[in-house]
Structure 1
Amino acid sequence: MSALASGVAVLPRDHRWVVVDVETSGIRPNAHRVLSVAALVLREDGSVEKEFSTLVDPGCDPGPVHIHRLTRERLAGSPRFEDIASDLAEVLDGATLVAHNASFDYGFLDAEFRRAGGVLPANHRLCTLALSRRLELDVPNYKLSTLAQHWQVQQLQEHDAYDDARVLSEVFVRSAAMAENLQLPLPVVDCRRRRTVYPESVPRVPCAWKNPGRLTEAGLVQGMKVVITGPTATPRVALANRMTEAGLEVMNNVSRQTGVVVCNDPGTRTTKIRKALAEGIPVISEQRLEELLTRVLPGEPKVTTTVDVAPAPKADPQPRLLQGHKPKLWAGRRVLLLGGTHLQAVMMRSRLTQLGARPALNFTAAVTDVLILEGGEADKRMARVVERQLPILRPEDVDAAVEKGVVPPHMRTESRLTAPVLSRGEVIDLPSKTHRWAVNVAWKAEALGDEFDLDVVAFLLGADEKVDTDDDFVFYNNPLYDDGVVELTLDGSSEQCVRVDLAELPDECERIAVAAAIDDARTFGELGAVSVSVDGDGGTAATFVLDAGTTERTMVLTEIYRRAGKWRLRAVGQGYDDDLAALARRYGVDVEE
Structure 2
Amino acid sequence: MDGFAVVDTETTGIDATHRHRIAEVAVVHLDPGGAVTGEWSTLLNPERDLGPQAIHRITAAEARLAPRFADIAGDLVDRLRGRVVVAHNWPFDAMHLRAEFTRIGLDTPFDEVAGLCTMRAASVVMPQSRRSLIACCATAGLPAMRWHTARDDAMAAGALLGHMLATAPGVVQPTAEHLRAAAWAWPELPRGVVAPAQRRPADHIEPHFLARLVERLPRDEEPVVDAYFAVLDDALLDRRISASDADALVGVATRLGLRRDDVLAIHHTYLRALAQVAAAAGERDRSDIDLVARLLGLDPVAAAGDPVHLDPAPTVGGLVLRPGDKVVLTGMMTADRDELTARAAAAGLRVMTAVSRQTRVVAAADPDTMSVKAREARALGVPVVDEAAFVRALDVLAP
The verdict on a shared fold, with TM-score over 0.5 as the criterion, is no
TM-score bracket for the superposition, by shorter chain length: 0.3 to 0.5
- Which has the bigger relative contact order, CA under 8 A and spacing at least 6? 2
Structure number with the higher strand fraction is 1
**TM-score, normalisation: structure 2:** 0.42
TM, length-normalised to structure 1: 0.29
Query: As a proportion of its length, which structure holds more helix?
Result: 2
